[in-house]
Structure 1
Amino acid sequence: MLTKKRALGVVTAVTLSASFLASCTPGGGSSDGTVTLNLATVNNPQMKDMEKLKSVYEADHPGVKINFQVMEESDLRSAVTADVASGAGQYDVVTIGAYETPQWGANDWLVDLTSFDDDAEYDAKDILPPVREALSHKDKLYAVPFYGESSILMYNKQVLDKAGVKISDHPTWQQIADAAAKVKTADSAGICMRGKPGWGDLFAPLTTVVQTFGGNWYDEDWNATVDTPEWKEAVTFYKKMLDDSGESDPVSYSFNECLTALKEGKVAMWADASVAASILEADDSPVKGKMGYAHMPVDKTEESGWLWSWNLAIPKSSKNQDAAEEFVKWATSKEYINLVGTKLGWSLVPPGSRASTYELPEYQKAAAAYAPITLDVMQSVNPEQPGVDPQPWVGIQYVSIPEFQDVGNQCAQLVADYLANRTSIDSALEKCQSIAQKAGDAHKD
């Protein structure tokens, strides 16, 4: 269990910056009785859509104001971890991942949302079972999904067709590297991949590459296995592919940067979160109708997609828990999904959270290019053993121990230095091995 003392130790290095990021209008009631809910969320398009639509909620709830604080992914994690672990109460609603939710629920840091099951209109049973399971601890629900995802390969069919390149539904990484080299031009990269330091940035896709190449973070006895031939092969492959065909400065790219590059025609392919497909197929997207989608590339495994969800949770330290629960219900409801569809476009509906979403005729039509493959991948991946060898935790692109956030961030910086030619692969992996082993030692026996 992640105690408050251990959690504060995990975020010691970022506490000052996180405190700065967390500075905001205090929650609670004003002199006129208005309740302001402070919501910390990630700088992703779906969350920006929620911010656009908050006026609809506020109009129906005149005594409530929603104050969005949108941050980059790594900044959000630092700020929210520091706030929730310390009980500071800066936020009433937090956007957290499947990694944090069960650990924080076990520590009694989050409001138990299992009572949502009793609300027939909310219909919590409609939440996709794998996603709900990832957000539960001892059968109690501690967050609800705003959207769920796996990872897939996305490619511009027009660009690849022009170069005579064909992509199968189940490609290998070597096939994708070869294809990227063929379609790279002086004005366009062949492939974009995350390189920005962070356990949820660079290491989200890179961990899945390591796993399909036969490596992993730990063996079954919690011995770190970073300084192994499998890791070296995978990370060296990743760098060579980017050196040969990727963006010129990979360490400055993560989700949003690759998304923009693909939409603007500056890159031909991208392997990342399946939720991006809804943005690429939006009515205002310049590549709408031009995209193809495939399973995440593999090497030694049958699948290599991840399983993730961005979720809304309520810290126990919130002073506005009742109002926060009402807003969280609204933002993750069938009503909200229909609101997005009618107001913003059906291709922008948050995917991967509710089974009923995939039964809506409007969504089926708008998401025909990517909805079936998204569900297929989410149902095909194996969080218990995503790689070649068994592992002592459940999770794909992360290790579900409290120390991993810090381990992943430190190791991602080391690998980013390697991608940027500031260090060698052997030095990066040797140092990462030592960092990972210290965390693994705490979980032996």
Structure 2
Amino acid sequence: MRNSKMKKYRSDMTQTPDGKAAGMNGTASQEGAARQDDKPITRRRLLRAIPGMASALAFPGLVAAAGGAKRFSGTTLNVSIFSQAFPTLLRRWIPEFEAATGAKVNYDTPAFPIYNQRADLELSTHGSAYDVLNVTFIYSNRWISAGWFTPLDDYLHGPDTPSDWGLDDILAGARAPETGKDGKLYGIPWNVEVVLGGAARFDLVRKAGLDFPQTTDDFVKVLRAVNGKDDTAGFIADNHYGWTFPPYLHAFGGDVFRNAPDDLLPALDTPEAIAAADYFSGLLRHYGPDGAVSYTADQTLQALKTGRVNFSTIGQTYLAQLGTSRSAATAAFGLVPQGPKGRFPGVAVHGLGIPAGSKNKAAAWEFIKWATSKDIVARAVAQGYGSPARRSALESPQFKRRQDINGYDLSRLSIESVELAGKKGYMKYRTVSIYPQVDQQINKAIELIVSGQMSAAQAMKHAQQETVAELRRSGVRI
């Protein structure tokens, strides 16, 4: 985006998500207080000075000794992150960053697909319009491998980054997708989303003398026992099957590609993939509600919250909302079921990085360092943010209070899932640029199997053929 287009985003930088004006929160009082040292310290003066003092402490070394000049005065940063809860909260606090550093921030938060289109075009043409961009999970391999982002190691270990900033506080499993083949880190995670298992009517499971299912065999046993009891269907999954099916695909020993990201030949027609598709589709066909293939993530959540459906494997941010629903007293949670080849929870990560073409890399790093700091993440969590990547936030009392539902600790389950994904590396399938094409074929295949139009073998072989043909038409070498 050219600078002329950037100007229109300045108009909404002074507004909070509810449309109210977001002032400087008293940060200017830091300099004013310095000019009034000869005046008595009153309670009012102290309260006015506190926000400014906090900003100074958050940015050590940014205010030069001579005349109070700030290191990045006169610098304009162009920042773009897709619209989500954390970037929305961040908008409120950007004036504090500007006051502390002297930099001005053009802040852009378009919708997810629009953001990805713009960012991919900007990066692929080696543009310099942006200084900070989100390293989108599904594009991370393409963007990082192509050299379109700046390695952050020198900044992380440089003199401008305090030793207690806490890189190790960010979960290792979250850092893994933001790391290139060279072992360097290219994005600082601000978001991690995890697929967990949840039951809305676990009282029916207890009544049947069973426990939370740990394996795929256990899962079927439990669903057989509770399906239809008290007018409650057994299972539902978000119909974005390119996201909700892979944990089962991996559990049965299958994969999306033969060996992503190096060998991108699709592997949808292997015996393991067919067995997984037959199992997963069977859960929906035999234990799902009417119209199961039409359920979006939001509809799945509503079915769980009202107790119309018992089990789902869905994102932790959705399951956490059961804590404030009519299902709170009967809910239970666990990891996704373990299959014959192990347990593979879905995990997605987003991070902030510096495009290689940025002309303000030092200031860009200050923004990233600030936006992903312990302090800012803690403030976001205090405002209800539910997908932090920092262990300190995940284990904080504020976060755990919301994540402790009916005696189950979703925070602990999330951390365990992220670390599993980091160690095993199976989420690489989702970080390659051609995955969206495969994603659509998986969606179609599961729908065909659940509806009975094709067998699992027929549908997955058809998906394999269609995917290979589409990739070749697109010029992808496989």
Partners of 2:327 and 2:133 in 1: CA distance: 32
Aligned partners of 2:291 and 2:340: how far apart in 1?
A: 29
* Equivalent AA in structure 2 for residue 55 of structure 1: R
Q: How far, CA to CA, are the matches of 2:396 and 2:380 in structure 1?
A: 13
Q: Deviations over 1:101-150 (max 9, x none)?
A: 24312212123333134311533232222322331111322111112244
Query: Does 1:215 find its partner at 2:254?
Result: yes
Tell me which residue corresponds to 1:56.
93
Superposition deviation, residue 210 in structure 1: 1.7
Q: Distance in 2 between matches of 1:56 and 1:111?
A: 25
Provide, for residues 130-182 of structure 1, a one-character-per-residue CA deviation record: whole Å limited to 9, x for no partner.
322331111322111112244321112555357536333x5222432443452
User: Between the two proteins, what is the percent identity of the paired residues?
Assistant: 19
Matches within 5 A, 1:228-247: 228-247=270-289
Distance in 2 (CA, whole Å) between partners of 1:226 and 1:86 is: 33
**Contact 2:150 2:354 (C-alpha < 8 Å) held by counterparts:** yes
Per the alignment, residue 173 of structure 1 pairs with 216
Aligned residue number for residue 335 of structure 2: 295
Aligned partners of 1:185, 1:82: CA distance in 2, in Å? 52
Secondary structure, counterpart of 1:269 in structure 2: strand
Q: Is 1:335 aligned to 2:375, yes or no?
A: yes
Counterpart check, 1:85 vs 2:121: no
SS at match of 1:203: helix
Structure 1 residue 239: Cα displacement? 1.9
1:263 aligns to what?
305
> Which residue matches 1:27?
6
- Structure 1 residues 398 and 218, CA, compared in 2 at 3 Å: closer, same or farther? closer
Letter in 2 for 1:131: A
Is the 1:50–1:331 Cα contact (8 Å) retained in structure 2? no
How many residues are aligned here? 396
Cα distance change of structure 1 residues 30 and 243 upon mapping to structure 2, 3 Å threshold: closer
| Superposition pairs of residues 250-399 of structure 1, within 5 angstroms | 250-281=292-323, 284=324, 287-288=327-328, 290-316=330-356, 324-342=364-382, 344-345=383-384, 348-351=385-388, 353-368=389-404, 369-381=409-421, 384=424, 394-396=425-427, 398=429
Tell me, yes or no, if the aligned pair for 1:96 and 1:311 is still in contact at 8 Å.
Answer: yes
Question: Which residue identity is paired with 2:147?
Answer: D
CA contact (8 A) 2:236 2:311 kept: yes
**TM-superposed deviation, 1:374:** 2.3
SS at match of 1:69: coil
* Contact preservation (8 Å) 1:147, 1:350: yes
Tell me the distance in 1 between the aligned counterparts of 2:411 and 2:9.
44
1:376 alignment partner, SS class: helix
Aligned counterpart, 1:39: 80
* 2:186 partner amino acid: Y
Q: Which of 461, 471, 475 is the matching residue for 1:430?
A: 461
- For the pair shown, the structure with the greater C-alpha radius of gyration is 2
**Paired position in structure 2 for 1:126:** 169
Distance 1:307 1:31, change over 3 A: closer
Local SS of the residue matching 1:26: helix
For residue 109 of structure 2, the aligned residue among 57, 65, 68 is: 68
Report SS of the residue matched to 1:141.
coil
Distance across 2 between alignment mates of 1:49 and 1:285:
23
Kindly state the Cα deviation for residue 247 of structure 1 after the two structures are TM-superposed: 4.3
Q: Is 1:28–1:37's contact at 8 Å kept on the other side of the alignment? A: no
- Provide Cα deviations, 1:366-388, integer angstroms capped at 9, x if missing partner: 4342222222333345754xxxx
Q: Deviations over 1:331-353 (max 9, x none)?
A: 322112221243x24xx4534x2
Q: 1:51 to 1:136 in 2, by over 3 A?
A: same
Instruction: Work out whether residues 317 and 386 of structure 2, in 8 Å CA contact, stay in contact via their aligned partners in 1.
Output: no
Letter in 2 for 1:433: Q
2:141 touches 2:431 (CA, 8 Å); kept in 1?
A: no
Following TM superposition, by how much is the alpha carbon of 1:87 offset from its aligned partner in structure 2, in angstroms? 4.8
Aligned counterparts of 1:162 and 1:259: Cα–Cα separation in 2: 22
Distance in 2, matches of 1:242 and 1:316, equals: 45
Post-superposition offset of 1:212: 1.5
Change (3 A) 1:223 1:314: closer
Write out per-residue CA displacement over residues 313-339 of structure 1, whole angstroms, 9 at most, x where no aligned residue: 344456776665444333322112221
Aligned residue type for 2:177: A
Partner secondary structure for residue 195 of structure 1: coil
Distance 1:397 1:248, change over 3 A: farther
TM-score under structure 1 normalisation? 0.72
Q: Contact 1:38 / 1:90 at 8 angstroms: preserved in 2? A: no
Superimposed CA distance per residue, residues 276-324 of structure 1 (whole angstroms, 9 cap, x where no aligned partner): 444444xx55544643111211230232323432223344456776665
Task: Tell me the residue number matched to 1:145.
Answer: 189
What secondary structure does 2:426 align onto? coil
- The AA in structure 1 aligned to 2:184 is K
Partners of 2:269 and 2:386 in 1: CA distance: 42
Q: Secondary structure at the match of 1:240?
A: helix
1:42-78 Cα deviation digits (max 9, x unpaired): 6xxxx3254145212235536435332233xx67655
1:312/1:31 CA distance change after superposition, 3 Å: closer
Return the offset for 1:275. Answer: 4.2
Shift of 1:399: 5.6
Partner SS state of residue 27, structure 1: helix
* 2:242 aligns with one of 181, 203, 207: 203
Matched, 1:190 2:190: no
Give unmatched runs, 5+ long, in structure 1. Answer: 1-21, 197-201, 385-393
Q: For the structure 1 residues 258 and 400, does the alpha-carbon distance in structure 2 shift closer, same or farther, using more than 3 Å as the test? A: same
Distance 1:76 1:193 in 2: 27
**CA RMSD, aligned part only?**
4.0
* CA displacement, residues 210-265 of structure 1 (integer Å, 9 cap, x when unaligned): 22223223556876542233322221222221122224344444444433432343
Find the aligned partners of 1:27 and 1:209 in 2 and give their Cα distance.
Answer: 44
Work out whether residues 171 and 295 of structure 1, in 8 Å CA contact, stay in contact via their aligned partners in 2. Answer: yes
Aligned-pair distance for 1:417? 4.6
